[in-house]
Each structure stands twice: as structure tokens, then as C-alpha cells.
Amino acid sequence: MSAGSVLVAGGTGYIGSFTTLALLEAGYKVVVADNLYNSSVEALHRIELICGKKAEFIKLDVTVENSFDQVFEAHPDIDSVIHFAALKAVGESGEKPLDYWLVNVYGTINLLRSMVKHNVTNIVFSSSATVYGDATRFPNMIPIPEDCPLGPTNPYGNTKFAVETAITDAINAQRNNAIKAGNEAEAKKWNGALLRYFNPAGAHPSGIMGEDPQGVPYNLLPLLAQVATGKREKLMVFGDDYASHDGTAIRDYIHILDLADGHLKALKYLRANNPGVRAWNLGTGKGSTVYEMIRAFSTAVGKDQPYEVAPRRAGDVLNLTANPTRAHTELGWKAERTLEQACEDLWLWTKNNPEGYRQEPPAELLAQLKK
């Protein structure tokens, strides 16, 4: 029996594809919608190779009004959406803020309107630690708990904050309208999880599935991976004058399989507990500096990776480390994998697939998979 039917918007992307895999493995029926702006459908093929199950794919642009209607009309059994579709680069968001508002905010409003129209009542949203901004401006807020005051420091973070607010308003309104109509059972059905991810890292341990950004990557680990394969001469370290023990900024890197699992736990919680809208941090609780990450990845590769110090990047903050206690106590979720594992899995994926999903997966890895 199916565990339920879920729409994964942005499901061919990095986190979306790993969550799709976890959903299929757990017995859900999955429909993936994406415009392939930063991903490829090959991700869905790799998922099928790993778990033997298929997600249905619908090509769709979230910025096109009513685009989700076709999905919900074709799949009336869908009652939940996990929403990843967005632009996500902190630096780029400062250069193209309106693109970020269009895709991230307007795109989510389109989704929410369609959910309301079709009575699709649960949403799990990819928010970000970026909504906290510089938590060091308050005493005792590192590691960061969910009740830390929000204060994003870049346009990307502003869009995530705006979407958190839009989801909260929309779900609360659906609940209030149902209560006014005397239908408490209907009110309880409307729920939202705001998952504030810290920094996802790593790949599938099989080596055939990983992050495959189109064009130039923006994040530290995919950039480091390109240095290791020789595609990039060196890593630019954005600032060595932060107030950390080695001068570089601190982030909480979490294995992608742990992060994907957090979505399943959140979805289950929404269905079982009807909390309305609730935020959860998904992180490990352990911060690492950029220099520590370079060392950890160099160890996985077995070779020192070259770098050069550059000025700080606009919009960056000193420390984003999660306090993940709420997710542990409420969702029963905890990051299980280590940073070393994330670096090893990332390197296995990168060295075997230097062209990402544009090349065939190596035969020996496929043979291992069948064992």
C-alpha cells in the first residue's frame, strides 16, 4: 500500500532528488515538477537505478500562473507538497534580487493558490538558516534555536523570510476559515513545515547520484570538488578576518541523506500531529570553518587542495550553526552521518562523474549497486 502521494516541486535538483529517493524508498507515490533550470531529469533515472522505483515527471515553471493546477487535476490523490523549487545563491541574489523575488516568492504564491484551490493541505518548505542572518548580534544564540529573531542579510534570505510569512498566513487563513464554518476537522488538515536547512553536503554512497548544478556552482563544496578534478585552479576563500579560531566563516554542514530524511519525518509529523505552521532547524549542531572544510575534503581526496584568500562575500555572516534539539525531540530526527562521510561520498561521486549527469554512470559502480 502507498504511504501517500506527494508532489515534489524542484524534485530534480540536489536536495529535491535525494528527498524523492527517500520518499520512494519509504513507499510514497511521487510526482516531480521542475523546469530543469538548474537540474536534469537524469537525476530521476539514477534514483530508479538505486531504488528500482520511478517518480513521474512534469516539466513546469513555478512563475507561470496556475501552472500547478494541471498537476493537482491529474493527481487528485496528492495531499502534500514538498517545495524545493527556487533560486538559491546568496551572492547572485545581490546581483539579481528581482529574479529571486519572482521565482522564490511569486512562484510559491502560485503554488499556495493552487493548493488552496485543490484542497492540497500540507506543505513542507525549503527554508534556510539564512533567515537568521547574523545570530552573533544576540547573546547566547549560537548554536541557533528556532526562536532566534530573524534578520536576513541578503536578498535570497529576504525571499525565504517572505515565503515563510506567506505560508504561515495562508495556512492560518485556511484554518480560521474552516473554524468559522464550524469545521474543526477541516481546519486541522492545513499544516506547514518550515525546514531551515543549514549547509547540505555530500552525495549518495553508491557514487552514482550527487549534486549536478548547471553552469558555475556557487557553494563551497561543489567548488572544492571542481578544484580536486582540476576544472578549477584553486578555491577562493571568502574572508579570513572573521572572529573564528582560524579567521574563516563557520557553517553547519549536514549530509544530504540526513537532510532528505528530515523531510520524511516532518511530513509524517504534520500528518500525525496537525501542528499548523511550525519551523524546524535541520543541522548537525557542529560548526566547521572554511579552512576545516578544505582540510576535511583534502583528506577524502588524499591531496591538499589549493586556495587563495579573497575579500569577504557580500551578505555572508560569521556563524550559522544549528541548535537541532527541536527536530530531535519533536520529529525524532537527528543527523547520523559525519562530515568525513559527506566528504568521502562527495569525492566518490565527483571523481567517477566529473561531467555529472551528462555522462553515463561507471559500469563498476552499477555492478556494485546490483550486489
Ligand X SMILES: NC(=O)c1ccc[n+]([C@@H]2O[C@H](COP(=O)([O-])OP(=O)(O)OC[C@H]3O[C@@H](n4cnc5c(N)ncnc54)[C@H](O)[C@@H]3O)[C@@H](O)[C@H]2O)c1
108 binds, among ligand X, ligand GDU, none (CB under 5 to 8 A by kind): none
C-alpha cell at 298: 583534502
- Amino acid letter, residue 55: A
Question: Which positions ≥6 away from 340 have C-beta within 8 Å?
Answer: 296, 299, 300
Phi (first) and psi of residue 350, to 5 degrees: -70, -45
Return the bridge partners of 119, or none.
Answer: none
Catalytic residues: 156
Residue closest to 39 by CA, chosen among 75, 87, 96, 83? 87
Tell me how far apart the alpha carbons of residues 14 and 201 are, in angstroms, rounded to a whole number.
10
Contact 53, 100 (CB under 8 A): no
Q: Is 128 in the site for ligand X (CB under 6 A)?
A: yes
Q: Which does 16 bind (CB under 5 to 8 A by kind): ligand GDU, ligand X, none?
A: ligand X
What is the closest distance, in whole angstroms, from the C-beta atom of residue 320 to ligand GDU in the complex?
5
Decide: is 198 part of the binding site for ligand GDU (CB under 6 A): yes
Residue 12 or 121 having the CB closest to ligand X = 12
Among positions 71, 78, 82, 86, the unique one binding ligand X when judged by CB under 6 A: 86
Among 56, 61, 134, 240, binds ligand X (CB under 6 A): 61
> Is 284 an interacting residue with respect to ligand X (CB under 6 A)?
no
Site string (202-241) toward ligand GDU, x via CB under 6 A: ----------------xxx--x-----------xxxx---
Question: By CB under 6 A, is residue 15 in contact with ligand X?
Answer: yes
d(CA 13, CA 15): 6
Residue 130 sits in the site that holds ligand GDU (CB under 6 A) = yes
Instruction: Kindly report the number of other CB atoms within 10 A of residue 39's CB atom.
Output: 25
Which of 216, 246, 258, 209 is CA-nearest to residue 356?
209
**DSSP bridge partners of 281:** 196
**Which lies closer to ligand X via its Cβ, residue 102 or residue 369?**
102
Q: Is 84 in the site for ligand GDU (CB under 6 A)?
A: no
Could you say which of ligand GDU, ligand X, none residue 316 binds, taking C-beta under 5 to 8 angstroms by partner kind?
ligand GDU
Q: How far apart are CA 19 and CA 70, in angstroms?
A: 23
**For helices 290-301 and 339-352, angle between their N-to-C axes, nearest 10 degrees:** 60
Element (H, E) at 252: none
Q: Minimum CB separation from ligand GDU for residue 58, in Å?
A: 24
Number of Cβ within 10 Å of residue 37's Cβ equals: 16
Q: Does 106 interact with ligand GDU (rule: CB under 6 A)?
A: no
- Binding partner of 323, given ligand X, ligand GDU, none, CB within 5-8 angstroms per partner class: none
Distance in Å, CB of 21 to ligand X, minimum:
13
List residues near ligand GDU by CB under 6 A: 88-90, 128-130, 197-199, 218-220, 223, 235-238, 249, 251, 290, 313, 316, 320
List residues near ligand X by CB under 6 A: 10, 12-16, 34-39, 61-63, 84-86, 88, 103, 107, 126, 128, 197, 199-200, 219
